[in-house]
Amino acid sequence: MSRFVELSHPLEDGDATAVYPGIGLPAARIAPILDHDASRERYGGQAEFYLGRIEIAANTCTYLDAPFHRHRERDDLASLPLSSVAELPGLVVAHDAGTGSAIELADVDPSAFGGRAVLVRSGWDARWGTDGYWTEGPFLTSHAVDRLVDGGARLVGADFANVDDLQDLSRPAHTRLLGAGIPIVENLRGLGPLPAEGFTFSAVPLAIRRGASVPVRAYAAIPGEGT
C-alpha cells in the first residue's frame, strides 16, 4: 500500500486567481448542461445524473506543459509517453525562495536528477489565491536548467508560477527544458510533507492532439505508508 499526497490546487468556477493576470486568460467556467434535478424526467424519475460543461484556459491552476507548448515540432499532449508523466521516481529539491528569487540548484549533484521527476519546493505556494502569487516569484536560472537537462531529469515541477524569470521574454527555462523533451508542471502545492526521495510522482494529462498545456491532478505516492 502507498500513501497518496495531493499536489494540485483545486479549481472552482469563476476563480480568477487560478490564471495568470494581465494577459487576458479567462477564469474557468464550470456549469451544468443538465443538473440532477433537470435530468430526472429523462429517466422516468428513477435516476438522476449531472452532465457538466468545463470551459477553461489550458494554462490554469496546476498544469503541465508539453514540449509543443514552446516547440511546434515537438510532442503534444497526446504524444507524450506515459513514462514521462506517470509513476516517476521523485526528488524534492528545497529552496527557501523570496520575491524574485533566482534558484540555482548549485548544491545538488546533477547525477541525482537522472530519470526523475525533480520537484522544486520553494514555499511560494503559500501565496496561492493572492495577487502576490503571480508577481516577482522564484524562477530557475539558466545554470539550474543546464544542470537539470545535463543530469537527465525526466520531468520538472515547481510550487511557483513560472520556471522562467518573467522579465526575460526569451523564456530560456521553457525553451531548454521542453526542447530536451522534459515536461514542466507549474503551480504545484504541498511539497513540504514529501520526503526528499523514496516516492513516485504522477501528473498525467489528457491525450489532446495539438494540445500544449492542460490542468492536471498531480500527486505523489509514498510506498509502504498506506493504511
Instruction: Enumerate the domain spans of the chain.
Output: 2-10+58-223, 16-55
pLDDT in the model for residue 155: 98
The pLDDT of 66-92, averaged and rounded, is 98
pLDDT of 95 higher than 70:
yes
Predicted model pTM: 0.95
**What is the SS3 assignment for 170-211?**
CCHHHHHHHHCCCCEEECCCCCCCCCCCCCEEECCCCCCCCC
Superfamily for the 2-10+58-223 domain = Putative cyclase (3.50.30.50)
Handedness of CA 138, 141, 144, 148 (dihedral sign): positive
3-class DSSP state of 168 = coil
C-beta of residue 92 within 8 angstroms of C-beta of residue 196:
yes
